[in-house]
Amino acid sequence: MRKVLAPTSTLAALALMLGATAQADTVALDNGQMTYEIFEHSVGHVDLATCPEGFDNDKVFCRLTVAEERAHVFAFAFEGDQLLQAIRSYEFDEEFLNF
């Protein structure tokens, strides 16, 4: 089962994830928007060569994290400040293994 969080819902999800790992530095999110630069330096992840089905690989690039026994794909825009566009979560099952 896939779950896609809209950009407005991502701030709460990211705050929970970042809050668990943050220890000293505080980063302000301009207008509540997560940029790839902030993500790159604050969230442990793996770079994906391509995004899973359903993402436009010409418009976004993807990164993978693992938490709560699920895989989470973060999609960032190529253009501009490389803002977070979506988070899609996967169970570790056949669907996950196919991408």
Q: How far apart are CA 63 and CA 39, in angstroms?
A: 10
Q: How many CA atoms within 13 Å lie on the side-chain side of 73?
A: 22
The total of structural domains in the chain comes to: 1
- Please tell me the predicted confidence (pLDDT) of residue 26: 75
- Please tell me the predicted confidence (pLDDT) of residue 82: 98
Residue showing tokens 């803002």? 83
Radius of gyration of the chain (CA): 13
| Residue 84 lies in domain | 3-16+32-97
Q: pLDDT tier at 1 (50, 70, 90 boundaries)?
A: very low
For 12-53, the pLDDT digits (tens) are 455 555 544 445 577 777 788 999 999 999 999 999 999 999
- Please tell me the predicted confidence (pLDDT) of residue 92: 83
pTM, two decimals, is: 0.70
Q: Assess whether pLDDT exceeds 70 at residue 9.
A: no
For 52-90, the pLDDT digits (tens) are 999 999 999 999 999 998 999 999 999 999 999 999 999
- Please tell me the predicted confidence (pLDDT) of residue 81: 94
> Which 3 state secondary structure label does DSSP give 23?
coil
Whether 26 is covered by a domain: the verdict is: no
